[in-house]
Homo-oligomer: A and B are copies of this chain.
Protein backbone atom coordinates (compact mmCIF):
# COMPACT_ATOMS: atom_id res chain seq x y z
CA UNK A 1 0.00 0.00 0.00
CA UNK A 2 1.38 3.37 -0.92
CA UNK A 3 0.73 6.00 1.68
CA UNK A 4 2.19 9.36 2.44
CA UNK A 5 4.57 7.65 4.83
CA UNK A 6 6.35 6.02 1.92
CA UNK A 7 7.52 9.52 1.07
CA UNK A 8 8.92 10.09 4.53
CA UNK A 9 12.34 11.42 3.80
CA UNK A 10 15.64 9.87 4.64
CA UNK A 11 18.44 11.89 6.13
CA UNK A 12 19.96 13.12 2.87
CA UNK A 13 18.08 14.57 -0.05
CA UNK A 14 14.59 14.14 1.40
CA UNK A 15 11.84 14.18 -1.23
CA UNK A 16 9.35 15.91 1.07
CA UNK A 17 9.89 18.64 3.64
CA UNK A 18 10.92 16.95 6.87
CA UNK A 19 9.79 19.92 8.94
CA UNK A 20 6.23 20.01 7.56
CA UNK A 21 6.07 16.25 7.94
CA UNK A 22 7.31 16.19 11.53
CA UNK A 23 5.24 19.20 12.65
CA UNK A 24 2.00 18.72 10.68
CA UNK A 25 2.18 15.32 8.94
CA UNK A 26 1.72 17.20 5.67
CA UNK A 27 3.85 15.99 2.73
CA UNK A 28 5.27 19.03 0.85
CA UNK A 29 7.44 17.91 -2.11
CA UNK A 30 10.78 19.73 -2.19
CA UNK A 31 12.66 17.65 -4.75
CA UNK A 32 11.74 16.03 -8.07
CA UNK A 33 8.88 16.71 -10.48
CA UNK A 34 6.25 16.96 -7.72
CA UNK A 35 8.13 19.97 -6.29
CA UNK A 36 7.72 22.04 -9.48
CA UNK A 37 4.15 23.31 -8.93
CA UNK A 38 5.10 24.27 -5.37
CA UNK A 39 8.09 26.22 -6.63
CA UNK A 40 5.74 28.23 -8.84
CA UNK A 41 4.11 29.42 -5.60
CA UNK A 42 7.42 30.34 -4.04
CA UNK A 43 7.66 27.21 -1.87
CA UNK A 44 11.27 26.08 -2.19
CA UNK A 45 13.93 24.50 -0.01
CA UNK A 46 14.80 26.54 3.06
CA UNK A 47 18.19 28.15 3.54
CA UNK A 48 18.18 26.96 7.13
CA UNK A 49 18.30 23.32 6.00
CA UNK A 50 17.82 21.95 2.46
CA UNK A 51 15.54 19.19 3.78
CA UNK A 52 12.90 21.65 4.98
CA UNK A 53 10.87 24.14 2.95
CA UNK A 54 10.11 27.84 3.08
CA UNK A 55 6.72 27.12 4.68
CA UNK A 56 8.57 25.88 7.79
CA UNK A 57 10.95 28.81 7.59
CA UNK A 58 8.54 31.69 7.11
CA UNK A 59 5.06 30.51 8.12
CA UNK A 60 5.50 29.46 11.72
CA UNK A 61 2.00 30.62 12.66
CA UNK A 62 0.48 28.52 9.89
CA UNK A 63 2.54 25.46 10.83
CA UNK A 64 1.94 25.60 14.59
CA UNK A 65 -1.40 27.50 14.71
CA UNK A 66 0.04 29.88 17.29
CA UNK A 67 2.61 32.69 17.49
CA UNK A 68 5.11 30.66 19.50
CA UNK A 69 5.49 27.40 21.33
CA UNK A 70 7.62 26.07 24.17
CA UNK A 71 9.58 23.01 23.15
CA UNK A 72 12.65 21.03 24.19
CA UNK A 73 15.64 21.56 21.94
CA UNK A 74 19.41 21.68 21.88
CA UNK A 75 20.98 24.98 20.88
CA UNK A 76 24.48 25.25 19.39
CA UNK A 77 26.47 28.46 18.96
CA UNK A 78 29.73 28.49 16.99
CA UNK A 79 32.04 31.42 16.40
CA UNK A 80 35.47 31.93 14.90
CA UNK A 81 38.23 32.58 17.40
CA UNK A 82 40.93 35.05 16.46
CA UNK A 83 38.70 36.68 13.85
CA UNK A 84 38.89 40.18 15.31
CA UNK A 85 42.71 40.09 15.38
CA UNK A 86 42.76 38.52 11.93
CA UNK A 87 40.47 41.14 10.44
CA UNK A 88 43.08 43.81 11.14
CA UNK A 89 45.86 41.82 9.47
CA UNK A 90 44.65 40.34 6.23
CA UNK A 91 42.95 41.69 3.15
CA UNK A 92 39.21 42.03 2.68
CA UNK A 93 39.11 39.33 0.01
CA UNK A 94 40.84 36.72 2.14
CA UNK A 95 38.64 37.63 5.12
CA UNK A 96 35.49 37.15 3.05
CA UNK A 97 36.69 33.77 1.80
CA UNK A 98 37.47 32.62 5.33
CA UNK A 99 34.01 33.62 6.58
CA UNK A 100 32.29 31.93 3.62
CA UNK A 101 34.23 28.71 4.15
CA UNK A 102 33.50 28.80 7.88
CA UNK A 103 29.76 29.26 7.32
CA UNK A 104 29.57 26.56 4.66
CA UNK A 105 31.52 23.96 6.65
CA UNK A 106 29.46 24.62 9.78
CA UNK A 107 26.19 24.35 7.85
CA UNK A 108 27.20 21.01 6.33
CA UNK A 109 27.92 19.67 9.82
CA UNK A 110 24.59 20.94 11.20
CA UNK A 111 22.60 19.54 8.27
CA UNK A 112 24.31 16.16 8.45
CA UNK A 113 22.74 15.79 11.90
CA UNK A 114 19.30 17.22 11.01
CA UNK A 115 19.78 20.56 12.71
CA UNK A 116 18.97 23.92 11.18
CA UNK A 117 21.21 26.95 10.81
CA UNK A 118 18.78 29.45 12.28
CA UNK A 119 21.03 32.53 12.37
CA UNK A 120 24.30 33.50 10.75
CA UNK A 121 26.03 36.53 12.22
CA UNK A 122 29.29 37.34 10.43
CA UNK A 123 31.81 34.89 11.82
CA UNK A 124 29.25 33.13 14.01
CA UNK A 125 26.07 31.08 13.82
CA UNK A 126 23.25 29.61 15.89
CA UNK A 127 21.82 26.15 15.17
CA UNK A 128 18.68 24.51 16.55
CA UNK A 129 18.31 20.73 16.96
CA UNK A 130 14.79 19.28 17.31
CA UNK A 131 12.78 21.92 15.48
CA UNK A 132 11.28 21.78 12.92
CA UNK A 133 12.88 18.38 12.19
CA UNK A 134 12.13 16.14 15.19
CA UNK A 135 15.27 14.45 16.56
CA UNK A 136 14.82 11.94 19.35
CA UNK A 137 18.36 12.41 20.65
CA UNK A 138 18.91 16.08 19.87
CA UNK A 139 21.68 16.52 22.45
CA UNK A 140 23.75 13.83 20.73
CA UNK A 141 22.98 15.24 17.28
CA UNK A 142 24.25 18.68 18.32
CA UNK A 143 27.44 17.32 19.91
CA UNK A 144 28.10 15.17 16.82
CA UNK A 145 27.64 18.21 14.58
CA UNK A 146 30.06 20.18 16.78
CA UNK A 147 32.68 17.40 16.53
CA UNK A 148 32.26 17.39 12.73
CA UNK A 149 32.69 21.18 12.65
CA UNK A 150 35.87 21.06 14.70
CA UNK A 151 37.27 18.24 12.53
CA UNK A 152 36.47 20.10 9.31
CA UNK A 153 38.09 23.29 10.55
CA UNK A 154 41.14 21.50 11.98
CA UNK A 155 41.70 19.80 8.62
CA UNK A 156 41.28 23.09 6.77
CA UNK A 157 43.73 24.88 9.06
CA UNK A 158 46.34 22.12 8.91
CA UNK A 159 49.28 23.66 7.18
CA UNK A 160 47.40 26.85 6.38
CA UNK A 161 49.54 29.94 6.65
CA UNK A 162 47.33 32.97 7.01
CA UNK A 163 48.84 36.44 7.00
CA UNK A 164 52.50 37.23 7.32
CA UNK A 165 52.88 37.66 11.04
CA UNK A 166 52.22 34.23 12.34
CA UNK A 167 48.47 33.75 12.56
CA UNK A 168 48.36 30.01 13.11
CA UNK A 169 45.87 27.37 14.08
CA UNK A 170 46.54 28.25 17.71
CA UNK A 171 44.85 31.61 17.35
CA UNK A 172 42.45 30.87 14.52
CA UNK A 173 39.86 28.22 15.19
CA UNK A 174 36.29 27.69 16.25
CA UNK A 175 34.69 27.92 19.70
CA UNK A 176 31.39 26.10 20.26
CA UNK A 177 28.80 26.15 23.07
CA UNK A 178 25.90 23.67 23.45
CA UNK A 179 22.98 23.60 25.87
CA UNK A 180 19.67 21.68 25.98
CA UNK A 181 16.39 22.71 27.56
CA UNK A 182 13.07 24.42 26.97
CA UNK A 183 13.11 27.19 24.37
CA UNK A 184 10.46 29.50 22.97
CA UNK A 185 10.20 28.97 19.22
CA UNK A 186 8.23 31.36 17.04
CA UNK A 187 8.15 34.75 15.36
CA UNK A 188 9.31 37.53 17.66
CA UNK A 189 9.03 40.56 15.47
CA UNK A 190 6.10 42.00 13.60
CA UNK A 191 8.16 42.68 10.46
CA UNK A 192 10.10 39.44 10.00
CA UNK A 193 8.47 36.13 9.35
CA UNK A 194 11.35 33.72 9.86
CA UNK A 195 11.14 31.86 13.15
CA UNK A 196 13.82 31.73 15.82
CA UNK A 197 14.31 30.44 19.36
CA UNK A 198 14.67 32.61 22.46
CA UNK A 199 14.92 32.18 26.22
CA UNK A 200 17.35 31.27 28.95
CA UNK A 201 18.46 28.05 27.22
CA UNK A 202 19.50 29.98 24.13
CA UNK A 203 21.36 32.60 26.14
CA UNK A 204 23.24 30.00 28.18
CA UNK A 205 24.38 28.25 24.98
CA UNK A 206 25.63 31.61 23.68
CA UNK A 207 27.47 32.32 26.94
CA UNK A 208 29.15 28.89 26.82
CA UNK A 209 30.32 29.57 23.27
CA UNK A 210 31.82 32.89 24.35
CA UNK A 211 33.97 30.98 26.88
CA UNK A 212 35.16 28.26 24.48
CA UNK A 213 38.75 28.59 23.24
CA UNK A 214 39.76 27.68 19.67
CA UNK A 215 39.08 23.98 19.15
CA UNK A 216 36.88 23.62 22.23
CA UNK A 217 33.26 22.49 22.53
CA UNK A 218 31.70 23.51 25.87
CA UNK A 219 28.74 21.26 26.64
CA UNK A 220 26.37 22.06 29.51
CA UNK A 221 25.58 19.45 32.15
CA UNK A 222 21.98 19.25 30.84
CA UNK A 223 23.25 18.25 27.39
CA UNK A 224 26.01 16.00 28.69
CA UNK A 225 23.57 14.05 30.86
CA UNK A 226 21.98 12.73 27.66
CA UNK A 227 25.22 11.09 26.51
CA UNK A 228 27.29 9.95 29.49
CA UNK A 229 29.47 7.56 27.47
CA UNK A 230 30.93 10.24 25.22
CA UNK A 231 31.45 12.77 27.95
CA UNK A 232 32.61 10.47 30.72
CA UNK A 233 36.26 11.45 30.48
CA UNK A 234 35.75 15.03 29.37
CA UNK A 235 37.41 17.80 31.37
CA UNK A 236 34.91 19.63 33.58
CA UNK A 237 35.13 23.40 33.94
CA UNK A 238 33.28 25.69 36.33
CA UNK A 239 32.29 28.97 34.72
CA UNK A 240 30.97 32.30 35.96
CA UNK A 241 28.80 33.55 33.13
CA UNK A 242 27.48 37.07 32.60
CA UNK A 243 23.86 37.37 33.64
CA UNK A 244 23.74 33.96 35.30
CA UNK A 245 23.82 33.94 39.09
CA UNK A 246 25.09 30.44 39.83
CA UNK A 247 28.32 28.88 38.60
CA UNK A 248 27.80 26.75 35.50
CA UNK A 249 29.51 23.39 35.08
CA UNK A 250 30.54 22.66 31.51
CA UNK A 251 32.24 19.67 29.92
CA UNK A 252 35.06 20.49 27.56
CA UNK A 253 35.35 18.39 24.40
CA UNK A 254 38.20 18.60 21.89
CA UNK A 255 38.79 16.83 18.61
CA UNK A 256 42.28 15.46 18.13
Given A104-B189, A107-B189, A188-B100, also A122-B68 (CB < 8 A) = no
Check B95 against A199 for contact (C-beta < 8 Å): yes
* A residues 165-214 in Cβ contact with B at 8 Å: 182, 184, 186, 188-193, 196-200, 202-204, 207
- A203 CB → nearest B CB, Å: 4
CB nearest to A87 among chain B residues: B200
Copies of this chain per assembly: 2
Size category, A interface: 35 or more
The answer, yes or no, to whether A136 is at the interface (CB within 8 Å) is no
Check B245 against A85 for contact (C-beta < 8 Å): yes
* A residues 74-114 in Cβ contact with B at 8 Å: 82-85, 87-88, 92, 95-96, 99-100, 103-104, 107
Chief secondary structure at chain A's binding surface: mixed
The answer, yes or no, to whether A232 is at the interface (CB within 8 Å) is no
- A150 CB → nearest B CB, Å: 19
The answer, yes or no, to whether A13 is at the interface (CB within 8 Å) is no
Check A184 against B47 for contact (C-beta < 8 Å): no
The answer, yes or no, to whether A4 is at the interface (CB within 8 Å) is no
CB contacts (< 8 Å) of A95 on chain B: these are: 184, 198-199
CB nearest to A201 among chain B residues: B87
CB pairs A–B below 8 angstroms (9 shown): A84-B203, A85-B243, A85-B244, A99-B188, A103-B188, A119-B121, A121-B121, A122-B202, A123-B198
Q: Show the binding face of A for B, using Cβ within 8 Å.
A: 42, 47, 50, 67-68, 70, 82-85, 87-88, 92, 95-96, 99-100, 103-104, 107, 119-123, 126, 182, 184, 186, 188-193, 196-200, 202-204, 207, 242-245
